[in-house]
Amino acid sequence: MSLEVADLAISFRGARVVDGVSFAVDDGERLGLIGESGSGKSLTALALLGLLPDGAEVTGSIRWKGRELVGRADRELARVRGDEIGMVFQEPRTALNPIRPVGRQIAESARIHRRLGRRDAARLAVELARQVALPDPEEIVSRYPHQLSGGQRQRVAIAMALACDPDLLVADEPTTALDVTIQAEVLDLLGRLADERGMSLVFITHDLAVLAQVATRGVVLERGRVVEQAPVPQLLSKPSHPVTRGLLRDATATLWRPEGSDD
C-alpha cells in the first residue's frame, strides 16, 4: 500500500468540509475520486500534497510509504511533493510561467528534483515532450505557453510533473478545460504513462465517464464523506448509492458498460 488515507477531516473555522475520508492506493494503482461540485475532492487532493489553503484544520492520517504526512513541516512536505508525489491541475496556464519557454520549465523541474545538470535536464525535457506526445518535441520546447493549444499546455504540465519521476501523480480535473477529443487523448496518455512507469494515480473528476477511462477503482464523495467505493466496472453496472446513480446518469461520454448491464 503506497498511500493510506484514514479518517481524514478538513475544517474551516470549525465547519467540516471533508469528514472522515478513508481510502488506499496500491503501488501502480489508478484510483478515481469522484463527486459533485463541493464534495471535497480538491481539498482531499491538496491535503495529499500538503497544499491546503491557510486556515484549513486537518485531522486524521495520510500515510505515504509508511510515513505520516499530516502534521509534517511545510519544508518536508515540499520535498515529498516534488520528489515523490507529482501534481497536475485543471488549468495548465496557472502551472506554467507565461514568459519562459516550456522546455526550460520542464527542465527546471528536472534540475530541482532530479539534481540534473543543465544539459541533461534540457535533453530530458525534449525526451519528456516526446513521451507526452507533443508534436515536434525538439522545436516545441522552445515555444512559450501562449504558442501552444490548451491540450498541448496540459501535456507540458504533465511533462513537468513527470520530470520529478513521481511514484504518485495527483491529477485534479486535468482534462475538464479541454474539448472532448483532446480530453480522451490526454486521459489515454495519463493511463499509459502510469502503466509504463508503474506510477500510481489519484485522478479527480466529476464525470463518471472520465473516471471510467482512466481509473480502475473509484471513491465516491458526497459532502465530504465517502458514500461508495468500488471497482469501476461495479460503479457502472451496479451503483449502490443514489449519488453514484446520479453521476452515472450525468456521465458525458458514451460509456463502456459491462455485459449484462441493462441501464
Ligand X SMILES: Nc1ncnc2c1ncn2[C@@H]1O[C@H](COP(=O)(O)OP(=O)(O)OP(=O)(O)O)[C@@H](O)[C@H]1O
174 makes contact with ligand X (CB under 6 A)? no
By a kind-dependent CB cut-off of 5 to 8 A, residue 35 interacts, out of Mg ion, ligand X, none, with ligand X
Q: Give the contacts of 142 (CB within 8 A, at least 6 positions apart).
A: 101, 103
Applying CB under 6 A, does 41 fall inside the site for ligand X? Answer: yes
**What does the alpha-carbon distance between residue 176 and residue 252 come to, in Å, rounded to a whole number?**
11
- Give the cell for residue 140: 516545441
What is the per-residue DSSP string for 130-182? Answer: HHTT-SSHHHHTTS-GGGS-HHHHHHHHHHHHHTT--SEEEEESTTTTS-HHH
| Nearest residue (CB) to ligand X, 21 versus 164 | 21
Q: 15 vs 73, which CB is nearer to ligand X? A: 15
**By CB under 6 A, residue 40 contacts ligand X:** yes
Taking the C-alpha atoms of residue 205 and residue 35, their distance in angstroms, rounded to an integer, is 7
The strand pair at 200-205 and 30-35 is best described as: parallel
Q: Name the β-bridge partners of 213.
A: none
Q: List the Cα angle 167/173/3 in 5-degree steps.
A: 30
> What does 206 bind: Mg ion, ligand X, none (CB cut-off 5 to 8 Å by kind)?
ligand X
Q: Is 252 in the site for ligand X (CB under 6 A)?
A: no
Distances (CA, A) of 217 to 44, 200, 243: 17, 12, 16
Alpha carbon 88 to chain centroid, angstroms: 6
Q: Which of 120, 123, 26, 12 is nearest to 58 (CA)?
A: 12
Note whether 30 binds ligand X by CB under 6 A: no
Among 14, 53, 66, 198, binds ligand X (CB under 6 A): 53
40 binds, among Mg ion, ligand X, none (CB under 5 to 8 A by kind): ligand X
Minimal distance, residue 237 CB to Mg ion, in Å: 27
Among 34, 43, 122, 160, binds ligand X (CB under 6 A): 43
Q: What does 43 interact with, of ligand X, Mg ion, none (CB < 5 to 8 A by kind)?
A: ligand X
Stretch that binds ligand X, among 1-9, 36-44, 179-187, 227-235 (CB under 6 A): 36-44
Among residues 31, 32, 42, 107, which is the contact residue for ligand X, using CB under 6 A? 42
182 binds ligand X (CB under 6 A): no
Task: Check if the beta carbon of residue 128 is closer than 8 Å to that of residue 136.
Answer: no
Nearest of 85, 89, 87 to residue 168 by alpha carbon: 85
Q: Which is nearer to ligand X, 42 or 200 (CB)?
A: 42
Q: Does 39 bind Mg ion (CB under 5 A)?
A: no
Applying CB under 6 A, among 4, 6, 12, 16 the residue interacting with ligand X is 12
Residues that bind ligand X (CB under 6 A): 12, 17, 35, 37-43, 53, 206
Residues that bind Mg ion (CB under 5 A): 42
